[in-house]
């Protein structure tokens, strides 16, 4: 794995099962990591673990649904370290319901926590990346954006939109030295994935494919590679991390 020494990374959603491992993985490769999330207790746990491993991780509490707070967070990172080289988005809201049960409030919550949060953080970080000569964005989406799941239609729709948005950002800002890619995990051991699977079972729908269940580290290592110089010619890609479980080309 290529090192990330002297890189400054901002991980949004670092209190989640995947995001927390992304933060420690990037820091383990030498990056200075700013970890953002809404859960103060989990941020504290992440910092405690980082201190034991002597990793450079700073806590930056954040609600990605608040645009002003997102902009202030980006400014704080830039003021402290003078650059933002890597942005990783890994947020989600678990709403496990069938289509007819989904309310407007459900759709709004999912889109705000995922698609709009990713748009806000990219909008806040991109000017700093461009001013610094380039940068890398990795957005964690999900297999549901390609392969629908009965209890995950709101989340899957948000994932599909994230993949398209990321591709558009990659094309729009490549001349400014920006790379933007999407990682699409399949089932990963987490509380949220368990909730979706229980929802599928309750609806009598097809299972998520737990014969190919992955671990958060599987996603984190893919993210770290995309953030590194090893992926310097990878831009606008959507890479499945699902053990081959997606039944699509």
Determine the Cα–Cα distance for residues 32 and 9; give it in Å rounded to an integer: 6
Q: Does residue 221 contact residue 166 with C-beta atoms inside 8 Å?
A: no
The answer to whether residue 249 is domain-embedded is: no
113 confidence band (pLDDT: 50, 70, 90): very high
Going from the C-alpha of 90 to that of each of 137, 153, 238, 239, the distances in angstroms are: 11, 18, 15, 15
Give the number of other Cβ atoms within 10 Å of residue 93's Cβ.
17
pLDDT value, residue 192: 53
The answer to whether residue 248 is domain-embedded is: no
The answer to whether residue 246 is domain-embedded is: no
The answer to whether residue 247 is domain-embedded is: no
pLDDT digits (tens, 9 = 90+) for 213-232: 789 999 999 999 999 999 99
pLDDT value, residue 212: 67
Q: SS3 string of 121-155?
A: HHHHHHHHHHHCCCEEEEEECCHHHCCCCCCEHHH
pLDDT digits (tens, 9 = 90+) for 3-22: 999 999 999 999 999 999 99
Owning domain of residue 49:
8-241
Overall number of domains in the chain: 1
pTM equals 0.91
Q: Which CATH number do you get for residue 193?
A: 3.40.50.720
Reply yes or no on whether the pLDDT at 67 is more than 70.
yes
């Amino acid at each position: 794995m290529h090192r990330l020494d002297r890189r400054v990374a901002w991980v949004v959603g670092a209190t989640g099962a995947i995001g927390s491992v992304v933060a420690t993985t990037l820091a383990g490769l030498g990056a200075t990591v700013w970890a953002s999330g809404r859960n103060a207790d989990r941020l504290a746990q992440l910092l405690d673990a980082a201190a034991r491993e002597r990793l450079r991780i700073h806590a930056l509490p954040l609600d990605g649904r608040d645009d002003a707070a997102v902009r202030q967070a980006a400014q704080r990172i830039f003021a402290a370290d003078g650059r933002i080289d890597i942005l990783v988005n890994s947020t989600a809201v678990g709403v496990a319901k069938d289509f007819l049960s989904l309310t407007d409030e459900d759709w709004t919550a999912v889109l705000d926590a995922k698609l709009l949060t990713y748009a806000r953080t990219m909008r806040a970080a991109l000017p700093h990346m461009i001013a610094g000569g380039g940068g890398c964005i990795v957005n964690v989406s999900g297999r549901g954006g390609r392969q629908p799941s009965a209890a995950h239609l709101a989340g899957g729709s948000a994932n599909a939109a994230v993949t398209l948005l990321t591709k558009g950002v990659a094309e729009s800002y490549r001349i400014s030295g920006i790379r933007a890619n999407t990682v699409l995990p399949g089932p990963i051991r987490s509380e949220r994935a368990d909730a979706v699977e229980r929802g599928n079972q309750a609806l009598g729908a097809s299972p998520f494919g737990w014969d190919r269940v992955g671990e958060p580290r599987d996603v984190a290592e893919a993210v770290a590679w995309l953030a590194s110089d090893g992926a310097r010619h990878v831009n606008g890609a959507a890479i499945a991390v699902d053990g081959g479980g997606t039944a699509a080309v």
